[in-house]
Amino acid sequence: MDAVVSDRALREIYLPAFEAVVREADPWSVMASYNKINGTYASQNPWLLTELLKHEWGFKGVVVSDWGATHSTAPAVNAGLDLEMPGPPANFGEKLKAAVAAGEVKPGQIDENARRIVRLIVRSGAIERGSPRSAAATPPHNYGVAKTAAEEAIVLLKNSGLLPLDPRIRSLAVIGPNADVVRIQGGGSSAVVPFETRTPLQALREALPGTRIAYEKGVDNEETPPGADVRLFSPGPDRAETGLAGTYYATADASGSPTKTERVTSFLKRISGNIAGPQVTGYSALRWQGMFWPRISGSYEFSVRGTGNARVTLDGKTVLDKATKVVPDNRDVLGFPIPRRTITLELEAGRGYPIRIDYATGQTPYEYLSFGVREPRPSLDAAVAAAKGADAAIVIVGSSSTTEGEGYDRATLALPGEQDRLVEAVTAANPRTVVVINAGAAVTMPWHDRVPAIVDMWLPGEGGATALADILLGKTNPSGRLPVTFPARSEDDLTDLRSAKSAYSEGLLVGYRGFAARGVKPLFPFGHGLSYTSFTWSGFTAPARVTAGKPIKLRLTVRNTGARSGREVVQAYVAPASPGTGDPPLALRGFTTLSLAPGARRTVTITLDPRAFSAWDEAAKAWRVRPGRYRLMVGASAADIRAVRDIEVEAAVGNPQP
């Protein structure tokens, strides 16, 4: 697609985060995306890769293409693309040698590209080590970092006194399609296999050993059979381990000695390459086998989606192969239409079924295999009954395994499936209901006014389930804030990026700026987040007058007036007294976080640099401080402003600019 966006919107909205990372963190690599920006592919955009990134921002690392996102040879290299991925090269390699020989690429440009790659090799320590790093298990420190990150990100959206739950609670109903699954990241090539995971249900049972916990799924949120749950399988009949026994072969008919064996705990294989043959995948055929253990009796859906040929054998019978009818699938993988075959079988709980999946790769440019299982339809009535019989209920809803991933987007902000109906039914059955949102972005909540407590755990990484349990039970005080606006309705978000040429016509009025400009009240505003303690703010000071081009300091005293230690986030917004055409009515220009014990107070300082009073001058291609009157605001969100001061920004002699 082609992102058609003004220079001012690029500079003021979309580029600042990248600029901050490059200038402050000195990253080692940056990836050029698939799409065009104003008509030019990112991977061959000299303004983006060289003028802005390397020269203006001083980036010293390597620019790498997204996989298959290189569209040319000389234009890409000359624009500043250092490395084409994946290999073997489609546009570099011999084509690049020819371009140099023809004078289309100067040797000095090659030196520059190569110098950056050598610098990356040296930085990474690969020369000293001689081989890549590997890890057999996650160190406790790493898991602690993951858990802390999740704790700081989880947002308490609403709380009418129900949270935190008493750790001595006698009975608890844990309900929902995301309660007993690991939903910690989006799908696609960014997905990784974590070292250690728990589902929210497992984490709550560990945290509440003396509590009677009833679990019911209630409804299904999966559009297609999800990736098979590893807990339903064992390599052997003793169930000492989960997963299946995997064997890989160099031959397509699985003859000869295996090239590799492993215990399979993830039933997804994906290889992207210009040649996805045995030299890339490492095998031409694979076999996964062991035992399948149904948890409940009923109809099970088995699904295989792959670029090659698969055969599934259950209890000694072939139940799925290439003769099985292909069913429609709304989810392409990076634009590749990959067939899915699905069968339904009646199975009996408590019995082990021998299972084997044989698969021959398709040797296609993109190699993909996924094996899925959908358990029998859950009971909404059983979920309601569990909620009625418990002291409190926790309903965990959100994304399915295919809601958020690479190569497609959501068509609506509504929760998939009948999850809204589940929340309403459980809340009606038990007024002490907490709803937990497990999704990577905003969702609509038509039931929000009838639920006493709402928590957003996002897609939280491997420490997320334990972090959620600690927050629900008060071991950790929530402190996260929303980095986006949650609309009350899908139609309140006016952004439309469905066409191949997508005009960013809202300009600067994106997100909370647009909601404020249109006077539309969101469900939860940008910057919103609650705590189990309380804070008071006082003594807000700011200069009444400042010379253009100079930073200013805002000061404020914060006191923890509650009974728990907690973290507060002070946000500073700036608004022009007389906004020009397209100017946002307010914009976040700074923030600070502080931790306070009960009764403690601290004076914090937020420094606003000249950019806070600047706009990008498209004609001059430069930042320009705009003298005039501004309103300085500090608040707990874009809609919760606690104190206001006006300031006059005066023109400086010589008009120095940021």
Report whether 566 contacts 478 (CB < 8 A). Answer: no
Q: Quick one: which of 42, 375, 368, 417 has its CA closest to 191?
A: 368
Q: What is the mean pLDDT of residues 268-284?
A: 63
Provide the token pair at 114. 């190569």
Provide the token pair at 517. 């400009």
- As a whole number of angstroms, the distance between CA 640 and CA 528 comes to 8
Taking only Cα atoms into account, the Rg of the chain, rounded to an integer number of angstroms, comes to: 28
pLDDT the model gives residue 269: 83
Task: Write the secondary structure of 174-191 as one string of H (helix), E (strand) and C (coil).
Answer: EECCCCCCCCCCCCCCCC
Q: How many residues does the chain have?
A: 658
- Full DSSP string of 85-109: SSSSPSSSTHHHHHHHHTTSS-HHH
Q: What is the mean pLDDT of the chain?
A: 92
Per-residue pLDDT tens for 51-102?
Answer: 999 999 999 999 999 988 999 999 999 999 999 998 889 999 999 999 999 9
- The conformational region for residue 525 under phi > 0 = left, psi -120 to 50 = alpha, else beta, is beta
Residues sharing a CB contact under 8 Å with residue 128, sequence separation 6 or more, in sequence order: none
For residue 392, the surrounding DSSP H or E stretch is strand 392-398
Residue 414 identity (one-letter amino acid):
A
Residues sharing a CB contact under 8 Å with residue 633, sequence separation 6 or more, in sequence order: 572, 573, 574, 575, 586, 641, 643, 644
- As a whole number of angstroms, the distance between CA 220 and CA 377 comes to 7
In the chain, the percentage of residues whose pLDDT exceeds 90 is 78
pLDDT the model gives residue 497: 66
Q: Quick one: which of 295, 288, 290, 289 has its CA closest to 347?
A: 295
- As a whole number of angstroms, the distance between CA 229 and CA 180 comes to 10
- As a whole number of angstroms, the distance between CA 19 and CA 37 comes to 17
Q: What is the mean pLDDT of residues 253-261?
A: 92
Confidence of residue 278 (pLDDT cuts 50, 70, 90): low
Rounded to 5 degrees, φ, ψ at 69 are -95, 10
- As a whole number of angstroms, the distance between CA 452 and CA 441 comes to 21
Task: Tokens 């000195």: give the residue.
Answer: 26
pLDDT the model gives residue 274: 47
Per-residue pLDDT tens for 129-142?
Answer: 776 565 556 677 88
- The yes-or-no verdict on residue 126 having pLDDT over 90 is no
- The yes-or-no verdict on residue 530 having pLDDT over 50 is yes
- As a whole number of angstroms, the distance between CA 271 and CA 189 comes to 9
Provide the token pair at 288. 């996964």
DSSP lists the bridge partners of residue 367 as 271
Task: Tokens 């026994």: give the residue.
Answer: 245
Residues sharing a CB contact under 8 Å with residue 400, sequence separation 6 or more, in sequence order: 177, 221, 222, 223, 226, 416, 417
- As a whole number of angstroms, the distance between CA 151 and CA 121 comes to 35
Pairing type for strands 326-327 and 340-347 reads: antiparallel
Per-residue pLDDT tens for 606-633?
Answer: 999 999 999 999 999 999 998 999 999 9
Per-residue pLDDT tens for 510-519?
Answer: 999 999 999 9
Burial class (CB in 10 A: 0-12, 13-18, 19+), 58: exposed
Q: Quick one: which of 169, 9, 160 has its CA closest to 582?
A: 9
Q: What is the mean pLDDT of residues 207-228?
A: 95
- The yes-or-no verdict on residue 275 having pLDDT over 60 is no
Per-residue pLDDT tens for 463-507?
Answer: 999 999 999 999 999 999 999 999 999 888 877 667 788 899 999
pLDDT the model gives residue 261: 94
- As a whole number of angstroms, the distance between CA 494 and CA 487 comes to 10
- As a whole number of angstroms, the distance between CA 572 and CA 479 comes to 17
Report whether 40 contacts 4 (CB < 8 A). Answer: no
pLDDT the model gives residue 195: 79
- The yes-or-no verdict on residue 336 having pLDDT over 80 is no
pLDDT the model gives residue 18: 97
pLDDT the model gives residue 94: 96
- As a whole number of angstroms, the distance between CA 313 and CA 412 comes to 38
Rounded to 5 degrees, φ, ψ at 143 are -65, -35
pLDDT the model gives residue 139: 73
Residues recognised as catalytic: 66
Q: Quick one: which of 376, 381, 387, 377 has its CA closest to 175?
A: 387
Collapse the DSSP code of 255 into the 3-class scheme (helix H, G, I; strand E, B; otherwise coil) and give the result: coil
